[in-house]
Amino acid sequence: MDNITQRPVGASAVPAAINNLQKTRRQASKRWAWPKLRELWEYRELLYFFAWRDIKVRYRQTVMGALWAIIQPIFTMVIFSLFFGRLAKIPSDGLPYPVFSFAALVPWTFFTNALAQASNSLVTSANMIKKTYFPRLALPIATVLAGVIDFILAFVVLLGIMLYYGLVPTINAIWLPFFLLLALVTSLGVGLWLSVMNVQFRDVHYTIPFLTQAWLFVTPIAYPSSMLPEPWRTVYGLNPMAGVVEGFRWALLGSGTAPGPMIIVSSAVALIILISGAFYFRRMEQSFADVL
């Protein structure tokens, strides 16, 4: 379904007016093709409207409203501080444990929410997909982008907690946007894979709680990655969220590793997941309307 601008065809008498109209050919897609990024760009306002709709609708008819965006990580932080910080006495790179864990929970909560929302994005819009045409990529991307608002709210709370403990962001904080981007790329990459798989296998929906729970423990949230000796710490970077979390702590609190081998590994893995996810999405998207 490539958009080909119509050119006059030799002998056949094609009226001039036809030249102004864009010709679209609907035919069977190739099995592997480039993701339709240009079309997505043309529909960028749709992306904005989907994200805006998600934000608007997410906390409708809830008592706490947008407070949910911060209650979730704060609550986890309190539990972690009590059990891992106080009872288990897990080291926290010399930082107060609540700050240590909350700095990780802010990007982590963004990631888990993005996964949950993105993986369901196609299935919950099944009716729309079956009855209207628009770039399907817009759905998972918009849900991930909508999560950025929650992230910002939680981030403000994080700054407040830091102030309470008398901690000031270091100059490394200029790297924060990069780590947010890394979190976005990771969430979107995994989200794309899961959203497409969810169309065919509804099992995905039930797997996500387990997946995120297991992922939580292989990510240095409750403990510092400095507990691992060096060659292993770089290997640890194969989990892109490990890179995001460590990078976050380093940029904000000056703890953990400076962007080094671990971050490079994490970034590479995140990019591979995103690109492969986009191709997988492109491969499957023409069947969405038939399978959903």
Do the beta carbons of residue 194 and residue 277 sit within 8 Å? no
Q: Which stretch binds another protein (CB under 8 A): 53-61, 64-72, 216-224, 251-259?
A: 53-61
Q: Which amino acid is at 206?
A: Y
Report the residue from 131, 166, 210, 231 that binds another protein according to the rule CB under 8 A.
131
Region from 78-86, 98-106, 128-136, 276-284 binding another protein, contact rule CB under 8 A: 128-136
| Least separation in angstroms between CB 268 and another protein | 29
Among the listed ranges 73-81, 90-98, 179-187, 200-208, the one in contact with another protein (CB under 8 A) is 200-208
Question: Which residue lies nearer to another protein by CB, 109 or 198?
Answer: 198
Residues 6+ apart with CB under 8 A from 161: 98, 99, 102
The correct pick among 8, 34, 37, 49 for binding another protein (CB under 8 A) is 49
Residue 289 binds another protein (CB under 8 A): yes
- For another protein, how many residues bind (rule: CB under 8 A)? 45
Rounded to an integer, what distance in angstroms lies between the CA atom of residue 31 and that of residue 17?
34
Helix (H, G, I), strand (E, B) or coil at 3: strand
The torsion defined by the Cα of 169, 172, 176 and 178, in degrees rounded to 10, comes to: 180
Provide, rounded to whole angstroms, the least separation between the CB of residue 245 and another protein.
30
Between 1 and 79, CB nearer to another protein: 1
Interface with another protein includes 46 (CB under 8 A)? yes
CB of 172 to another protein, least distance (A): 38
62 binds another protein (CB under 8 A): no
- In this chain, which stretch among 83-91, 121-129, 151-159, 245-253 interacts with another protein, using CB under 8 A? 121-129
Structure tokens given for 247: 């990078």
> What secondary structure letter does DSSP report for 8?
-
CA distance to 49, 98, 127, 144, 256, per residue, from 139 (Å):
10, 35, 13, 9, 36
Tell me, what amino acid is at 137? L
Closer Cβ to another protein, 22 or 89, answer by number? 22
For the four alpha carbons of 151, 157, 160 and 166, in that order, the dihedral sign comes to negative
| Cα distance between residue 196 and residue 202, in whole Å | 10
At position 267, the amino acid (one-letter code) is S
**Which residue, 6 or 213, is less far from another protein as judged by CB?**
6
